[in-house]
Amino acid sequence: MANYILNKYIDISKEVLNALEFNKPIVALESTIISHGMPYPKNMETAIGLESIIKENGAIPATIAIIDGRIKVGLNSEQIEYLSYDKNIVKVSRRDIPYVIAMGISGATTVASTMIFSNICGIRLFSTGGIGGVHRGAEKTFDISADLTELSTTSVAIVCAGVKSILDINLTLEKLETLGVPVIGYKTDNFPAFYLRESGFKTDVKAETPIQCAEILKAKWDLGLLGGVVIANPIPKEYEGNKDIIDSAIETALKEAQALKIAGKETTPFLLDKVKDLTGGESLEANIALANNNADLAAKIAVEYCKLQR
């Protein structure tokens, strides 16, 4: 993208700019997980912890958000704190970007919008907790996350712990196949379900090492096959949740959402919040553990991908 457009809308931090210039490994991080995914101050501690994990692996973290109408790639600690406690932060997916910028307000980026800004800057690896997908009952509601359409066109790889079973996991995987998005299981061929290591549904392929993951990304993008890749990394065993407790919390949350006629962009945050309340602090600890685990893998893949580019 032309530099004047970059400068007109985007502020890239010094560290990230330097990494881009010298072809150093970078990992993008989303901010919806900070503003809408976890309570204060755990969200702030987690966001800062994720950046440290990426640095320990020799990569540069780039947390992304919109602050006062400016797209920020690479945040300082005051900006992370602001996103962690302020109650007026808008959830920004692809369609919300123009409004939030034009109004000069602040927004937390979802997987879709974080991918968009990463791609504009040339950042190829992105780490998060879970991606959006096809909601249960989508045959009636048409509720399919814009994260999936973004994955079909925007060339960024996402390391995640699969998707939460608030979604229809099978339909999410079918949709990803239609959209031509590779789904790589990291050391597994069973797609993970966020709190659980296995969803029971198969991944497209399995990779055993960060190098293998990097080689798949390189082959895809070298060939001009634009679009994203899902790298599904199961939650560490010691943090895995109890399936019955999670399933029953999700059932309750879905019923409540239906009764209250929750729709549109509110659906995912509503369901996530309910499940969090119903499963208590344990799910928060699991969420932090899997996010850390994903940042670690994403950084390792970014380092290998960078080597392949030299």
Rg (CA), the chain: 18
Size of the site for ligand PSU (CB under 6 A): 19
164 binds ligand PSU (CB under 6 A): yes
Whole-angstrom Cα distance, residue 30 to residue 62? 9
Residue 42 CA to residue 49 CA, distance in Å, equals: 10
Q: How far is the CB of 185 from ligand PSU (least distance, A)?
A: 18
Instruction: Return the H-helix or E-strand segment holding 64.
Output: strand 60-67
Segment holding 109, helix H or strand E:
strand 107-109
Give the range of 80-88, 139-147, 180-188, 298-306 binding ligand PSU by CB under 6 A.
139-147
Q: Pick what 37 binds: ligand PSU, Mn ion, none; C-beta below 5 to 8 Å, kind-dependent.
A: ligand PSU
Q: Which is nearer to Mn ion, 84 or 172 (CB)?
A: 172
Of 66-74, 144-152, 220-228, 242-250, the segment contacting ligand PSU by CB under 6 A is 144-152
Minimum CB distance to ligand PSU smaller for 214 or for 288: 288
38 or 216, CB closer to ligand PSU?
A: 38
Residue-by-residue DSSP string for 140-202: HH--B-HHHHHHHHS--EEEE-B--TTB-HHHHHHHHHHTT--EEEES-SB--BTTBS--SSB
For the record, the structure tokens of 80 come out as 């992370």
Residue 40 DSSP code: T
- Candidate list 91, 164, 276, 300, residue with the active-site label: 164
User: Residue of minimal CB distance from Mn ion?
Assistant: 143
256 is catalytic: no
Single out the residue of 124, 296, 301, 126 nearest to residue 211, CA to CA.
Answer: 301
54 binds, among Mn ion, ligand PSU, none (CB under 5 to 8 A by kind): none
Nearer to ligand PSU, 129 or 210 (CB): 129
In the set 25, 29, 30, 220, which binds ligand PSU (CB under 6 A)? 30
Q: Which does 304 bind (CB under 5 to 8 A by kind): Mn ion, ligand PSU, none?
A: none
Q: Is 143 in the site for Mn ion (CB under 5 A)?
A: yes
Dihedral pair phi/psi, residue 193, rounded to 5°: -120, 55
Asked if the bond preceding 98 is cis, omega within 30° of 0, the reply is no
What is the spatial distance between Cα 50 and Cα 63, in angstroms, rounded to a whole number? Answer: 9
Q: What is the DSSP letter of 234?
A: P
162 touches ligand PSU (CB under 6 A): no
- Which of Mn ion, ligand PSU, none interacts with 162 (beta carbon under 5 to 8 A by kind)? none
Q: 164 an active-site residue?
A: yes
Residues with a catalytic annotation lie at 30, 164
Can you give the binding site for Mn ion, defined by CB under 5 A? 143
